[in-house]
Structure 1
Amino acid sequence: MRAERAARPVVRSLDTLPEDWHGAVVAIGNFDGVHRGHQAVLAAARAEADKAGVPALILTFEPHPRTFFGRGAPLFRLTPPPLKAAVAAAFGMDGSLVLAFDESLAAVSAEDFVRDMLVDRLRIRHAATGYDFHFGHRRLGTPAFLQEAGSRHGFGVTVVGEYDEAGRPVSSTRIRSALREGALREANGLLGWRWSAAGEIVHGDKRGRNLGYPTANMALDPSVELAHGIYAVRLTRMDGSVREGVASFGRRPTFDNGRALFETFLFDFSGDLYGETVLVTLIDRIRPELQFESVEALVARIDQDSIDARAMLATEPDRDIDAKVRAAWAAAE
């Protein structure tokens, strides 16, 4: 049986590791997106933890190694750290250990990583990882190496194979591509949960209020490459309450073609959200961003967008996992 434990969702240093996390089963990886392939790794860890009666944790790294090494353009992160931890918790993990990926960690050999961190510091009982995860200096730590090291050091290792969807492997890269192209349903299907963005509500230029559609505005990280357009959404506040609405992500070409903003109009709501951190879950994409010849034409289209969003939301109720992700995020915040 899975034991009840005090909530410790995220730990960022081995020096502050809770005592009952020693001897845990650990899922190791970057887990950006916590998609269906990652979920298979988490499920393997959860199963081993349940058999042993110990916690199941994820061990991940920040910043993402690709960001640290600075290869190419900034990486579009599907799940920044707080959201990644919430999604992992929704899929049954007891906590997240987030190690700083810096020059020191990048220089650690695969053998030293296993011996010093996994064995001496964490005292892991079992590790689970994906077939393509590499670790240690020059990425010399392969899944096969981890299995061999586990045999030498006395912990078990499960390596989870490739997860296919429609005959193609599920990957964070594939999901990023779908979101860039506006294929939200495809992205959500590959994720196994609905993609969401979290951020603080900031003041805008109040233009939406003048149009009769006051919006809650978030400035997403510049690396976010979500397709510009109009989306049916659900917004979660820090108290766990949920409101439905319609959101625009883009540069407002009818007015100023400025910096990209995520602007959400909530149905039947008149409160003040300024300064709050909220989670906006994207349910479906209504249309791409368009430039209109007049303000009147824009407002008429927003009227229709609101009708379309309400219809989409009525036919797309929350799934169990959506509620779990939302609850885990609100609890962590």
Structure 2
Amino acid sequence: MIRFDNVTKRFPDGTEALKGISLAFPAHQLTAIIGPSGCGKTTLMKMINKLEKPTEGEIYIDEEPITGLEEVKLRRSIGYVIQRIGLMPHMTIADNVSMVPKLLGWPKDKTEARARELLSLVGLEPDTYWSRYPLELSGGQQQRVGVVRALAGDPNIILMDEPFSALDPISREQLQDELRNLQQEIQKTIVFVTHDMDEALKIADRIIVLRAGQVEQIGTPQELVAEPANDFVRDFIGTERINRQRAFGEKKLKEFVFQFDAEWSGDAQKIDSSASIEEAARQLEASPHSRLAITEGGHVVAYAAERDLLKAALQKDRGTSN
């Protein structure tokens, strides 16, 4: 877990980017930080790997203060994905992905096995892309390699700074889906900075809404849409999303089975596909499990997490993404 304890960041010109921030990023969850430009979201994220340092307060990783941690060692233990990807153009995909494992002193066979495994996970066939260079790949493919590189050293924490914002809408949608599916498998602690509310609602387990260096609200996507803390959060989410959320009860699970996950290895709460999304959301909230197992004729046909229900509720019509 990452924890901020009364953290303030004041720049030399007197600007307070963060003002007494106290919050926690739960382990094994994807937390999105969102807010208007200049609200402090990127500064907040960069403090986790000491690219920015607090003026006041302390940051903890697994209850150990990071103040005394050696910067290079800390950064090698954290994955980092940025908007402009940052791949080395003169290095092959294999060499780009293998950079951190090599710095960590991994043996060659372990490094190659890890790189091949991760490339396969994001849909890049290793034998096809292994010896290619970044400029031979599309923007979406390059960003996939960027994600793989961040995961290669098997870090517990991954920082993602608006990683998909420069992509075309189709590539962006695909990578959001891939990240969500990948996170279900790897279960890392991911801090994801975005300016796009739809993106945050789609991929996040929890969302932190910032304004002018202060936290306005922290909650699950469903909590933010259902119960915005104040007018700023309500306006930032948008009345259209909130109004559509109120129509939960008019939609049935069976309308969205085709877009939910077909497999899940953990325990799940069973619910019939004839139930409404509103009913499903209430049942999942009361359940000890993180997924619903949706059944038809007594057989499980799909699995849905809270964010899957929210995404379905936010769709204007069946099969049409917001």
User: So what's the TM-score if we normalise by structure 2?
Assistant: 0.27
Larger radius of gyration: 1
